[in-house]
Amino acid sequence: MAARFPVLRESMTPVIALKERIMKQGLIIGAAVIATLLGTPVLAQGWPTKPIRVIAPFGSGGSADITGRVFAAYLESQIKQSAVIENRPGANGIIGTEIVKNAPPDGYTIQIVSNSTHGANASLFKKLPYDSIRDFEHVGLFGTFGSVAVVPPDSPIKTLADLTTFAKANPGKTFYGHFNSASHVGGALFALRSGRLWKVSPIRRLAMRLPISMANRSA
C-alpha cells in the first residue's frame, strides 16, 4: 500500500476547523493530524468517549493491516481510548471503503486507505459506490511503501538481471504475483520494459503471496 495523501491541506488550529474535520463523514486520518488534535478544545468537549473503529479494507497480514495496527496502537496511546482494527477486505478495497462512507459522521470511524481504494479504483471500475474526493476528508499521510521483487529462497536468481535472463530462457514459464493495483502496475511495467516475459498471477492478499512464492508456485 502507498497512502500518498497530503499531510495537511490547511491549518488545523481554529476550533471550528477541528470540529468540522472530526465530524466529517468517513474521516480518514493520519498520525500527524492526531498530534495536532491533542490538547485542543475539541477533545475537552468529549471526543472520544468510546472506541474508535479503524477500518482496514484489505485482509490480515498485508500492509494496510500491519500499518493500521501500528497506527491504532499509537492512536490509543495519544487519545487514551481504544482503537480497534476491523479488516473488511473485498473488491479491491471497495467493501471496506463503502462501510466508512456510510458510517455515522461522528469521528469514530476512520480508514486506512491506499492508492487502490482512492486512486486506481476510479479507473478500474465503471461505477463505484463512493466518490474518493466528495465522500471523505483526506487528512494525513502516515506511511509510504515501495515494491520489491522476491523469489523462493532456493532460487539461483539473485538480481533483476538474473531474473530477466531466466525469463528469456524460459518463455511463458515465469510468473509474477500481485496482490493489489500498485503491485500489479509495478510488475506489469517491469515486465513491459523487459520484453513481456512474465505472466500475471493475481492473488487476493499479500499474506497469501509469500507462502506461494516460497513454495515456487504461481498460485
What are the residue boundaries of the structural domains of the chain, listed by start? Answer: 15-138, 160-214
Q: How far apart are CA 117 and CA 129, in angstroms?
A: 11
Pairing of strands 175-178, 199-202: parallel
Q: What is the pLDDT of residue 11?
A: 30
Q: What letter represents residue 69's amino acid?
A: R
Q: What is the pLDDT of residue 118?
A: 80
pTM (two decimals): 0.64
Q: What is the pLDDT of residue 176?
A: 73
Write down the H helix ranges in 88-180: 94-102, 121-124, 160-169
- The closest alpha carbon to 132, from 96, 101, 110, 90, belongs to 101
Cell of 88: 473488511
Q: How far apart are CA 212 and CA 219, in angstroms?
A: 6
Q: How far apart are CA 172 and CA 199, in angstroms?
A: 7
Q: What is the pLDDT of residue 84?
A: 93
Across the chain, which has 219 residues, the per-10-residue mean pLDDT values are 30 38 41 35 66 88 83 85 92 90 84 82 89 79 73 83 85 72 73 72 60 57
Structural fold of domain 15-138: D-Maltodextrin-Binding Protein; domain 2 (3.40.190)
Q: How far apart are CA 122 and CA 141, in angstroms?
A: 20
145 CB-near residues (< 8 Å, 6+ apart): 1, 2, 63, 182
| pLDDT tens per residue across span 110-137 | 888 887 888 888 888 899 999 888 888 7
